Amino acid sequence: MNEIVWPTIDSKHLIVDSKQMMTLEKEMFSDGMPQEALMEKAGNQISKWLFKRKTLLKHGITVLIGPGHNGGDGAVIARELFLKGYLVKVWCPFPLKKKLTINHVNYLTSIGVTKLLEPPDATGKELWIDAVFGNNQTRKVDNKLIKLFNQKFNNKYGRVVSIDVPTGLCPNNGEPILDNAVKADFTLVIGLNKIGLTQDSALSFIGELHHIDVGVPINKLSKVEKKIFKVTYKDLKNINLPSLPKNSNKYKKGRTLLIAGSEKYPGAAYLALKGAISSGAGFISAVLPELVAESIWQVAPEIVLKGTMQSNYNGNASLLSVLKNIDLSAFDSLAVGPGIGIDNDDWQKSKDYLLSFEGLLILDADALNRISESKLGLKFFLERKFKTWITPHSKEFIRLFPHIMGETNVELALEAAKEFNISVLLKGANSIVADNKKAWQLFGTDSQTGRAGLGDLLTGFVAGSSAIDLACCKNITTDFFAKYVLLHSFAASKCKTGSNAHAIGDELSKLMRNWKTRQIS
In this structure, the answer to whether residues 214 and 177 fall within a common structural domain is yes
Is residue 210 assigned to a domain? yes
The total of structural domains in the chain comes to 2
| Band of pLDDT at residue 64, cut at 50, 70 and 90 | very high
Is residue 398 assigned to a domain? yes
Helix/strand/coil (H, E, C) string of 261-324? CCCCCHHHHHHHHHHHHHHCCCEEEEEEEHHHHCCHHHHCCCCEEEEEECECCCCCECCHHHHC
426 or 445: whose pLDDT is higher?
426
242 or 214: whose pLDDT is higher?
214
Query: Looking at residue 3, what is its pLDDT?
Result: 55
Cα 286 to Cα 89, 200, 314, 435: the distances in Å are 66, 35, 22, 28
What confidence tens digit (pLDDT) does each residue in 119-147 have? 999 999 999 999 999 888 877 788 999 99
Least confident of 139-153, 181-195, 201-215: 139-153
Distance (Å, whole) CA 42 – CA 477:
36
Is residue 9 assigned to a domain? no
Distance (Å, whole) CA 507 – CA 448:
13
| Band of pLDDT at residue 518, cut at 50, 70 and 90 | low
In this structure, the answer to whether residues 379 and 440 fall within a common structural domain is yes
Q: Is 137:177 a contact under the CB 8 Å cutoff?
A: yes
In this structure, the answer to whether residues 386 and 359 fall within a common structural domain is yes
Half-sphere exposure (Cβ direction) of 233: Cα atoms closer than 13 Å: 10
Judged against a pLDDT cut of 90, whether residue 15 lies above it is answered with: yes
Phi, psi dihedral angles at 126 (to 5 degrees) = -70, 160
In this structure, the answer to whether residues 416 and 356 fall within a common structural domain is yes
What mean pLDDT do residues 219-223 have? 92
Is residue 229 assigned to a domain? no
Query: Three-state DSSP class for 398?
Result: helix
Query: Looking at residue 499, what is its pLDDT?
Result: 67
521 or 148: whose pLDDT is higher?
148
147 or 495: whose pLDDT is higher?
147
| Band of pLDDT at residue 245, cut at 50, 70 and 90 | low
Q: Is 460:248 a contact under the CB 8 Å cutoff?
A: no
Least confident of 239-253, 340-354, 446-460: 239-253
In this structure, the answer to whether residues 138 and 262 fall within a common structural domain is no
Distance (Å, whole) CA 357 – CA 353:
6
User: What is the full DSSP assignment across 173-204?
Assistant: TSSBSSS-----SEEEEESSEEGGGGSGGGHH
In this structure, the answer to whether residues 176 and 73 fall within a common structural domain is yes
What mean pLDDT do residues 239-245 have? 74
What mean pLDDT do residues 2-9 have? 76
| Band of pLDDT at residue 1, cut at 50, 70 and 90 | very low
Instruction: Give the torsion through C-alpha atoms of 122, 123, 127, 130, to 10 deg.
Output: 10
In this structure, the answer to whether residues 187 and 77 fall within a common structural domain is yes
State whether the Cα torsion 259-263-268-270 is positive or negative: positive
Is residue 7 assigned to a domain? no
What mean pLDDT do residues 249-274 have? 90
Judged against a pLDDT cut of 70, whether residue 418 lies above it is answered with: yes
Q: Is 161:130 a contact under the CB 8 Å cutoff?
A: yes
| Band of pLDDT at residue 170, cut at 50, 70 and 90 | very high
Q: Is 432:231 a contact under the CB 8 Å cutoff?
A: no
What mean pLDDT do residues 167-189 have? 95
Judged against a pLDDT cut of 70, whether residue 374 lies above it is answered with: yes
Query: Looking at residue 521, what is its pLDDT?
Result: 35
Q: Is 365:400 a contact under the CB 8 Å cutoff?
A: no
| Band of pLDDT at residue 225, cut at 50, 70 and 90 | confident
Distance (Å, whole) CA 73 – CA 88:
15
What confidence tens digit (pLDDT) does each residue in 432-450 have? 999 999 999 999 886 655 5
* Burial tier of 500 (Cβ tally within 10 Å: 0-12, 13-18, 19+): middle
Judged against a pLDDT cut of 90, whether residue 500 lies above it is answered with: no
| Band of pLDDT at residue 242, cut at 50, 70 and 90 | confident
Is residue 181 assigned to a domain? yes
Query: Looking at residue 91, what is its pLDDT?
Result: 98
Half-sphere exposure (Cβ direction) of 383: Cα atoms closer than 13 Å: 13
In this structure, the answer to whether residues 314 and 450 fall within a common structural domain is yes
Q: Would you say how long the chain is, in residues?
A: 521
What percent of the chain is predicted at pLDDT more than 90? 82
Least confident of 255-259, 449-453, 491-495: 449-453
Of 157, 191, 224, at which residue does a domain stop? 224
Distance (Å, whole) CA 260 – CA 461:
13
Of 224, 245, 263, at which residue does a domain stop? 224
Kindly give the interhelix angle for 99-110 and 69-83, rounded to the nearest 10 degrees.
Answer: 20
What percent of the chain is predicted at pLDDT more than 70? 94
In this structure, the answer to whether residues 161 and 241 fall within a common structural domain is no
The domain that contains 307 carries what CATH number?
A: 3.40.1190.20
Least confident of 335-339, 403-407, 483-487, 517-521: 517-521
Distance (Å, whole) CA 512 – CA 236:
12
What confidence tens digit (pLDDT) does each residue in 82-100 have? 999 999 999 999 999 999 9
Distance (Å, whole) CA 75 – CA 90:
8
In this structure, the answer to whether residues 183 and 293 fall within a common structural domain is no
The domain that contains 163 carries what CATH number?
A: 3.40.50.10260
In this structure, the answer to whether residues 415 and 285 fall within a common structural domain is yes
Least confident of 148-157, 212-221, 224-233, 490-499: 490-499
What mean pLDDT do residues 39-60 have? 97
Is residue 10 assigned to a domain? no
Query: Looking at residue 249, what is its pLDDT?
Result: 60
Of 175, 203, 224, at which residue does a domain stop? 224
Least confident of 78-82, 452-456, 458-462: 452-456
178 or 353: whose pLDDT is higher?
353
Contact partners, residue 441, CB within 8 Å, separation at least 6: 15, 198, 228, 229, 230, 231, 410, 430, 431, 432
Distance (Å, whole) CA 520 – CA 498:
30
In this structure, the answer to whether residues 348 and 489 fall within a common structural domain is yes
Residue range(s) defining the domain that contains residue 354: 237-520
Tell which residue, 278, 261, 363, has the closest CA to residue 316.
261
What mean pLDDT do residues 55-64 have? 97
Judged against a pLDDT cut of 50, whether residue 2 lies above it is answered with: no
